[in-house]
A and B are shown apart, each in its own frame.
Chain A
Amino acid sequence: MKIGVLALQGDFAEHISMLKKLAVETAEVRLPEHLKGLDGLIIPGGESTTIGKLATAYKLIEPLREFGKSHAVWGTCAGAIFLSNDIGRDQPLLGLMDIKVKRNAFGRQVDSFETDLEIDELFKATGTEHPYHAVFIRAPIIESVGGGVKVLSALDDGRIVAAQEGHLLATSFHPELTDDPRFHEYFISLAS
């Protein structure tokens, strides 16, 4: 099992360190040829505009789309934005997932928050029951999802913060900033 982390900008090192704790082989992806031999890819948190521009400049958009057709891909925060097919503004997107995302949906940094989530699918897959503590930073929300997309978790007010479409996964929050490995374990199971 070898999981790549898109390393154009953002907290890719945090994802790599979590994957290493789970004894998974990892690779940093900055150019199309770095996708070779990977079983899955994580697109980390960061600035989605920066990641999109660098992906365009180094001709990664098409190779990433191709990779995502047959491999597991997970986007956290900026990564979820990049995976989506509509954000209501002009910026490079992969369009792999049929989700509409709104950037900075909660406001500015002083509105960033931590909260506990119920994520049944995750609890079932990992045989656990305790709530998932999620860290949201200038976070996006998933405004709406297409027919083939399963909502994994929503806030109390109904706003969607995690969704899955087959082997593709999007979360508004940052599992890589916590000590809870369950989301990474869940993603590894999608990649196997």
Chain B
Amino acid sequence: MQAKTGTWTEKKGLAQMLKGGVIMDVVNAEHAKIAEEAGACAVMALERVPADIRADGGVARMSDPEMILKIMDAVSIPVMAKCRIGHFVEAQILEAIGVDYIDESEVLTPADEEHHILKHDFKVPFVCGCRNIGEALRRIGEGAAMIRTKGEAGTGDVVEAVRHARTVIGAIRQLQTMGDEELMTFAKNNGAPYELVKETKELGRMPVVNFAAGGVATPADAALMMQLGVDGVFVGSGIFKSGNPARRAQAIVKAVTHYQDASILAEVSKNLGEAMVGRNVSQMPEAEKIAGRGW
């Protein structure tokens, strides 16, 4: 039989291999090696971590392909990279250089304020952010093979990550208790594709792998997200904006594996040095929040 590439099983499958793991933001080959050495299951290559994107302001775009290629050369684990929401040409470029996953990300400045990329058109798989079940299932409908709850990137404040994970997982629980005749109205009310609503109810979970992101800064934050029911964790600014990135990265990897074992969590939380300074999301002006990007 002819081998088939770029299938839905392949796209979803790579995300399944990342489960129970930590995906770390890295801005150069040296950081990528530290992340791999610490046990990251993948890295996200980008020019600036979200905390710096916030601080710098201006338009945040896809990173220089040369810089992404250097990171791909430096490590043996999967490498992800971000494109702007709706910027399908940035996605074509990232696919052409061979990244393993594309994050169509609200952390960058959106290129289209009405449409996301039709991700089924690509061979490379995509991950997208969501704040609720409707947003998640719309992204899957467009072809996202992995979902992450958005949180509020670059803040080091886990409160939004918790809100979004609880919202999504709560909706899945609610679906489980619904009769089949209620699903179309649920689909309408949530702006979600009906077939995916049905599938989510049948599975009792999101139809693709679901990680948490946006504000995870400590091993306890990571384990909190795991106990809430996500499949793994993205850590952005939380590692390389902290006092001892290598040590903190290792501790977060261990916390995600042993998320139910409080004595191990206590052990790995010791002596990590300064956490990233962080910004309190409840005191941030609405205009500075990025989780609202995405339609």
Contact = CB atoms under 8 A, between A and B. Distances in A.
Interface of A: 7-14, 30, 45-47, 49-50, 53-54, 57, 77-78, 89, 103-104, 107-116, 131, 135, 137-138, 174, 177
A89 B77 CA distance: 14
A65 B221 CA distance: 34
B170 interface: no
Contacts of A135: 9-10, 13
Interface string B1-37: 1111111011001101111110000000000000010
The 3 closest A-B pairs by CB, nearest first: A109-B100, A113-B3, A116-B1
Contacts of A11: 16-17, 19
A104 B13 contact: no
Interface of B: 1-7, 9-10, 13-14, 16-21, 36, 38-42, 72, 76-78, 95, 98-101, 123-125, 250, 253-254, 256-258, 261
Contact of B20 (A8, A57, A113): A8
B41 A50 contact: yes
Contact of A54 (B10, B98, B254): B254
B14 A138 contact: yes
Nearest to B123: A110
Given A45-B16, A47-B17, A115 B253 contact: no
B20 A174 contact: no
A144 to B, nearest CB: 20
A108 B71 CA distance: 14
Contacts of B256: 9
Contacts of B5: 110-113
16 contacts: A7-B257, A8-B20, A9-B256, A30-B258, A30-B261, A46-B17, A46-B19, A47-B77, A49-B76, A50-B40, A110-B6, A115-B4, A137-B13, A138-B17, A177-B13, A177-B16
A97 B125 CA distance: 33
A44 to B, nearest CB: 9
A114 B21 contact: no
Nearest to A46: B17
Contacts of B4: 113-115
Given A46-B20, A115-B1, A137-B13, A110 B124 contact: yes
A77 B13 CA distance: 12
A131 B1 contact: yes
B76 A113 contact: no
Contacts of B253: 50, 53-54
Given A7-B20, A7-B257, A10-B20, 8 more contacts: A47-B42, A47-B78, A54-B253, A54-B254, A77-B17, A112-B5, A115-B1, A177-B9
Contacts of B101: 109
B14 A112 contact: yes
A131 B38 CA distance: 40
Contact of B21 (A30, A47, A89, A108): A47
Chain A CB within 10 Å, residue with most, of B7, B14, B17 = B17
B3 A115 contact: yes
Contact of A46 (B3, B21, B250): B21
A85 to B, nearest CB: 18
Nearest to A53: B39
A165 to B, nearest CB: 24
Contacts of B1: 115-116, 131
B173 to A, nearest CB: 18
A177 B258 CA distance: 24
B202 to A, nearest CB: 14
Given A47-B18, A110-B124, A177-B16, A8 B257 contact: yes
A114 B10 contact: yes
Chain B CB within 10 Å, residue with most, of A9, A30, A78 = A9
Contacts of A30: 257-258, 261
Contacts of A104: 76
Contact of B98 (A7, A103, A110): A110
Contacts of A13: 19
A10 B250 CA distance: 17
Nearest to B96: A110
Contacts of A53: 38-39, 253
Contacts of B40: 50
